[in-house]
Structure 1
Protein backbone atom coordinates (compact mmCIF):
# COMPACT_ATOMS: atom_id res chain seq x y z
CA UNK A 1 0.00 0.00 0.00
CA UNK A 2 1.44 3.37 -0.96
CA UNK A 3 2.10 6.33 1.32
CA UNK A 4 0.30 9.61 0.74
CA UNK A 5 0.69 13.17 1.91
CA UNK A 6 -2.28 15.50 1.77
CA UNK A 7 -1.47 19.20 1.82
CA UNK A 8 -4.07 21.73 2.94
CA UNK A 9 -4.07 25.36 1.85
CA UNK A 10 -6.13 28.49 2.40
CA UNK A 11 -6.69 30.63 -0.69
CA UNK A 12 -6.44 34.38 -0.31
CA UNK A 13 -7.03 36.43 -3.47
CA UNK A 14 -6.51 33.26 -5.51
CA UNK A 15 -3.11 32.50 -3.99
CA UNK A 16 -2.83 29.26 -1.97
CA UNK A 17 -1.10 29.54 1.43
CA UNK A 18 -0.19 26.23 3.07
CA UNK A 19 -1.85 25.70 6.46
CA UNK A 20 -0.79 22.12 7.11
CA UNK A 21 -0.24 18.64 5.81
CA UNK A 22 -1.11 15.14 6.94
CA UNK A 23 0.83 11.97 6.16
CA UNK A 24 -1.18 8.81 5.63
CA UNK A 25 1.06 5.77 5.94
CA UNK A 26 -1.28 3.23 4.35
CA UNK A 27 -4.40 3.60 2.25
CA UNK A 28 -6.00 1.39 -0.37
CA UNK A 29 -6.36 4.24 -2.83
CA UNK A 30 -5.90 8.04 -3.02
CA UNK A 31 -9.53 8.81 -2.19
CA UNK A 32 -9.37 6.83 1.06
CA UNK A 33 -6.13 8.62 1.91
CA UNK A 34 -7.80 11.97 1.25
CA UNK A 35 -10.78 11.16 3.48
CA UNK A 36 -8.54 9.94 6.31
CA UNK A 37 -6.39 13.08 6.04
CA UNK A 38 -9.46 15.35 6.07
CA UNK A 39 -10.72 13.71 9.26
CA UNK A 40 -7.31 13.85 10.95
CA UNK A 41 -6.78 17.50 9.93
CA UNK A 42 -10.21 18.48 11.32
CA UNK A 43 -9.59 16.64 14.61
CA UNK A 44 -6.16 18.20 14.97
CA UNK A 45 -7.61 21.70 14.55
CA UNK A 46 -10.65 21.05 16.73
CA UNK A 47 -13.25 21.64 14.02
CA UNK A 48 -15.97 19.41 12.59
CA UNK A 49 -15.15 20.09 8.94
CA UNK A 50 -11.65 20.64 7.54
CA UNK A 51 -13.00 23.40 5.27
CA UNK A 52 -13.31 25.67 8.29
CA UNK A 53 -9.49 25.96 8.26
CA UNK A 54 -8.56 25.31 4.62
CA UNK A 55 -9.99 25.82 1.14
CA UNK A 56 -8.21 23.04 -0.71
CA UNK A 57 -6.64 19.65 -0.12
CA UNK A 58 -4.13 18.15 -2.55
CA UNK A 59 -3.03 14.51 -2.56
CA UNK A 60 0.64 13.76 -3.10
CA UNK A 61 1.53 10.07 -3.59
CA UNK A 62 4.64 8.74 -1.93
CA UNK A 63 4.65 11.58 0.58
CA UNK A 64 6.51 9.72 3.31
CA UNK A 65 5.70 9.64 7.02
CA UNK A 66 6.53 13.10 8.35
Structure 2
Protein backbone atom coordinates (compact mmCIF):
# COMPACT_ATOMS: atom_id res chain seq x y z
CA UNK A 1 0.00 0.00 0.00
CA UNK A 2 1.20 3.45 -0.90
CA UNK A 3 0.91 6.82 0.78
CA UNK A 4 -0.72 9.62 -1.17
CA UNK A 5 -0.89 13.38 -0.98
CA UNK A 6 -3.76 15.27 -2.56
CA UNK A 7 -3.33 19.00 -3.16
CA UNK A 8 -6.46 21.09 -3.56
CA UNK A 9 -6.24 24.28 -5.58
CA UNK A 10 -8.41 27.19 -6.60
CA UNK A 11 -7.88 28.19 -10.22
CA UNK A 12 -7.77 31.94 -10.91
CA UNK A 13 -7.25 33.08 -14.51
CA UNK A 14 -5.96 29.61 -15.34
CA UNK A 15 -3.34 29.60 -12.58
CA UNK A 16 -3.78 27.07 -9.74
CA UNK A 17 -3.29 28.34 -6.18
CA UNK A 18 -3.04 25.66 -3.51
CA UNK A 19 -5.65 26.13 -0.77
CA UNK A 20 -4.90 22.94 1.14
CA UNK A 21 -3.54 19.43 1.04
CA UNK A 22 -4.38 16.11 2.65
CA UNK A 23 -2.10 13.16 3.36
CA UNK A 24 -3.61 9.70 2.99
CA UNK A 25 -1.62 6.77 4.31
CA UNK A 26 -2.11 3.20 3.21
CA UNK A 27 -4.74 3.47 0.50
CA UNK A 28 -5.36 0.44 -1.69
CA UNK A 29 -5.37 2.41 -4.95
CA UNK A 30 -5.16 6.03 -6.15
CA UNK A 31 -8.92 6.39 -6.64
CA UNK A 32 -9.66 5.40 -3.03
CA UNK A 33 -6.97 7.78 -1.80
CA UNK A 34 -8.44 10.64 -3.81
CA UNK A 35 -11.97 9.98 -2.54
CA UNK A 36 -10.79 9.77 1.08
CA UNK A 37 -8.88 13.03 0.69
CA UNK A 38 -11.90 14.77 -0.85
CA UNK A 39 -14.07 13.73 2.09
CA UNK A 40 -11.45 14.75 4.67
CA UNK A 41 -10.86 18.13 2.96
CA UNK A 42 -14.61 18.85 2.94
CA UNK A 43 -14.91 17.96 6.64
CA UNK A 44 -11.90 20.10 7.57
CA UNK A 45 -13.44 23.11 5.84
CA UNK A 46 -16.98 22.52 7.05
CA UNK A 47 -18.54 22.12 3.61
CA UNK A 48 -20.64 19.39 2.04
CA UNK A 49 -18.53 19.09 -1.10
CA UNK A 50 -14.83 19.86 -1.58
CA UNK A 51 -15.62 21.78 -4.79
CA UNK A 52 -17.10 24.58 -2.70
CA UNK A 53 -13.53 25.50 -1.65
CA UNK A 54 -11.36 24.24 -4.53
CA UNK A 55 -11.47 23.68 -8.28
CA UNK A 56 -8.75 21.04 -8.64
CA UNK A 57 -7.64 17.96 -6.72
CA UNK A 58 -4.15 16.80 -7.75
CA UNK A 59 -2.97 13.38 -6.58
CA UNK A 60 0.66 12.41 -5.98
CA UNK A 61 1.84 9.03 -4.71
CA UNK A 62 4.60 8.83 -2.11
CA UNK A 63 6.69 5.94 -0.95
Pairwise same-fold verdict (TM > 0.5)? yes
Structure 1 segments, 4+ long, off by >4 Å, are none
Q: Distance in 1 between matches of 2:28 and 2:8?
A: 21
2:31 is matched with: 31
Q: Which runs of 5+ in 2 are unaligned?
A: none
Q: CA RMSD in A?
A: 0.9
Shift of 1:26: 1.1
Q: Which runs of 5+ in 1 are unaligned?
A: none
Q: How many residues align?
A: 63
Structure with greater strand share of residues: 2
TM-score, length-normalised on structure 2? Answer: 0.97
TM-score, length-normalised on structure 1? Answer: 0.93
